[in-house]
Amino acid sequence: MPRLSDSMEEGVILSWLKKEGEAVEVGEELVEIETDKASMVYESDLAGVLEILVGEGETRRVGEPIANVRPDGEAAPAPAVAPTVEETPEPKGGSEAAGTEPPPPPAYSDHPAAEERVRISPLAARLAHQKGIDLGEVEGSGPYGRIIKADIDRAVRTPGPTAPTAGSETPAASLSGEAAKGEVTTVELSRIQQTIARRMAESKATTPHFYLHTEVDMTRAIEVRGAFEAAAAGGAAIPSLNDMVVKAVALALRHHPRANSTYRDGRIEQFSRVNVGVAVAAQDALIVPVITDADRQDLREISAETRRLADRVRSGEVTPPELAGGTFTITNLGMFGVRSFDPVIHGGQAAILAVGEATERPAVRDGQVVAAHLMDLSLACDHRILYGAEAAEFLAEIKANLEEPGLLA
C-alpha cells in the first residue's frame, strides 16, 4: 500500500484498473485507492505481469503488500495474502473450466448479465448507490469506458427496494421506545468520512481548544473587490472576500510564528513556510487543499490558485501534494448565511480560523449609527501553543489587514 498523503495510515482498494495476469507498463494506471483525504489513482513504477494480492473493498496499512508486478515469464510463488473474490458456483465442465477465475462483481450492481468488473469513479459509485442506479444499464463516457458522475446524472433512476408492509415486525419495532422513531436507515461512511470523524474526535479530545471572536468591518474590502472587478480583463481572476482573508492570515502568520507551528512531544515546532489550507466541501466530505507560500502570493495569484484547487477537489482530481504541507487552516460558511461558528482545529496545527457571512448591519462610527458590512471571525487555538494575549494580537492583526485592504498588496 503506497503512502499517498503525508497523514495516510491505511487505504482502501477501490478498484483494480488492470486485471489479474494482465501486462503492466511503467506509468500505467494500476489501482484506485481511497485514502484519508481523497481517492487517488496509483501508477505502476514497474513493468511486468500483475498478480493481485488484495481484493477490491479491502483495507491495508501503508507498506503492506497489495500486489506483485513480476517480469514476464517469472513464476509467481503462492501469494502471502489471498485475493478477496466473491464466491460463485463452479462452472459446468469440471476440469475443462479449471484455471478460470470468477470475475469480480460490478460495484453497486445486481445486474445479472454483468460479467466484467465495472470501471467507475468513487463519486459516481456513491451517487449510483444513493440513487438506486443499476450500473449494468449505464454506459461510461470516461477513459476506457469508465463511468463518471455525468453518466450517473444522465441515467434513469430505478425503483428502490419495496418498503416493509405495515405491521411487519422488525427488531426496532419490537422495542416500544425505538418504535416511536420509525424505520431506521443505516448510512455507511466512506473511508474519508470515517477518517474525518476519527480525527475530529481526536482533536477535540486531545487538543485544549479555546476560542476568540471578533467583528471586522469589510466595507473597504468590498470596495477594493469592486475595483478589482471593474479593472478585470476577460477571464482574469477576481479576488473574493475569502481570498482576502487568506492573504490577511498569511501576512499575520509571518509576525506570529507560534500560530504557524505544531505541538509535538512536549515541544513546539515552528514552520518556516506559510501554507494556508482552505476547507472545500466535496461529495459527503470536507477536503482541505493547501495554498503553498500564501504570504508570498498576491491577491490575484491566491484567487486563481484557490479556484483551481477547489475545482480539482470537486472533480475528484486533487493529488496528494495539493493536500499536503498545510500549516494553518481557514474554514468559511458565510456563503450559507452562517454568521459565526466555532471550528475544530486541524490535527498538527496551532489554530484554525472560521469565517462568517459579511452582511450589512448597523455600526457605531464617531457616535453615529451607520450601515457597514460586518463579518465575524472565530479563532480556535491550541492552548499548549498559544496563550490568550498572543492569540488576541494575532487575531487583531488579521482584523487590521482586512479593514485596510491596502496592506494586502
C-alpha distance from residue 384 to each of 266, 377, 379 (Å): 9, 21, 15
Each residue of 6-18: b (16+ CB within 10 Å) or e?
eebebbbbbbbbb
DSSP strand pairing (48-52 vs 23-24): antiparallel
Contact 204, 293 (CB under 8 A): no
DSSP strand pairing (276-278 vs 328-332): parallel
What is the rounded CA–CA span in Å between residue 378 and residue 352? Answer: 8
What is the rounded CA–CA span in Å between residue 95 and residue 284? Answer: 47
* 84 grid coordinates: 478477496
Q: What are phi and psi of 381, to 5 degrees?
A: -125, 150
Within its chain, how far is the Cα of 41 from the centroid?
A: 15
What is the rounded CA–CA span in Å between residue 295 and residue 272? Answer: 11
Catalytic residue of the set 111, 129, 209, 383: 383
386 CB-contact burial (10 Å; exposed 0-12 / middle 13-18 / buried 19+): buried
373 assigned to active site: no
Residue partners of 129: CB distance under 8 A and separation at least 6: 108
**Positions marked catalytic:** 383
